[in-house]
Structure 1
Amino acid sequence: AEDVAQQVFLVAFVHRDEFEFDREDARPWLCGIARNLCGRHFRTQWQIRHLTHRLPPPPIGLRARYRRRQAGGCTASAGTPLRGDMRTVAVTGRDSHPACN
């Protein structure tokens, strides 16, 4: 929320010469800026998701490296023997590993 407020006031400051000072209240102007920023954000997120779905899946080695990195963070507090088993399950994606039984 703080980031949005900062962005709204930054845009308002940059475009302060467009504000009509004869108005009593600046809130409608600021709310319009916030609405436009949110709309732009959601459009950008939609475009990213839409384009990401059109990409081919990453190579298996890259996926395994990503899963290994995720598993490293999740298993940092686990004991050493269990940590290795959990990483193996996370990388291979198999539930038949002895650690899962």
Structure 2
Amino acid sequence: MQRPAVADASAETDASAISASLADPDRFTAIYDRYAAMLYRYAYQRMGPEFADDVVAETFLAAFRGRASYDLDRPDARPWLFGILTREIATHHRRERARYRALAGATHHTGHDDSPAETVAARVAAGAARGALAAALADLSADDRDVLLLVAWGQLSYDEVAGALGIPSGTVGSRLNRARRKVRKALGTFDPTKEDQ
């Protein structure tokens, strides 16, 4: 007896995986497999390691429960998932803000570099910008911070951010402009990408 052919899950669009999961809930694992690491990195940057796992788990639980309302005309589920994740992070808003306040006072570097000279250079650059950047992020409104970080860390386009947050693309642009202006002002003339500071 020959087994029925199984479609290659990696070739399947997000919309078709979500649609298939309505009849076979196990098919939703394709969405988890594709995006869990990406969402975790984003949540880790915003919330820190102590809350990232929780908000990502809550995001996928909400996505699974709400999959019947997913717009199947959208083949890419990233904006939808980032929208859910952003709402989950909003429920932890005080924790996120406290994290940025704590980072604003921190000046140590925890990364691993190849040589002692690179370590020193990285610590100097990171220490000089970290406090000001974290303070600027903490001082942004939640709406402006969401847009800025979805573009910078989530690597979403304006249209994807608009879809994720349910706002017009023009609003994304104005919030992003306002957030960037405030962050630039907080950093002053310091540019961590230039070595001759």
TM-score range, shorter chain: 0.3 to 0.5
Q: TM-score, length-normalised on structure 1?
A: 0.40
Q: TM-score, length-normalised on structure 2?
A: 0.21
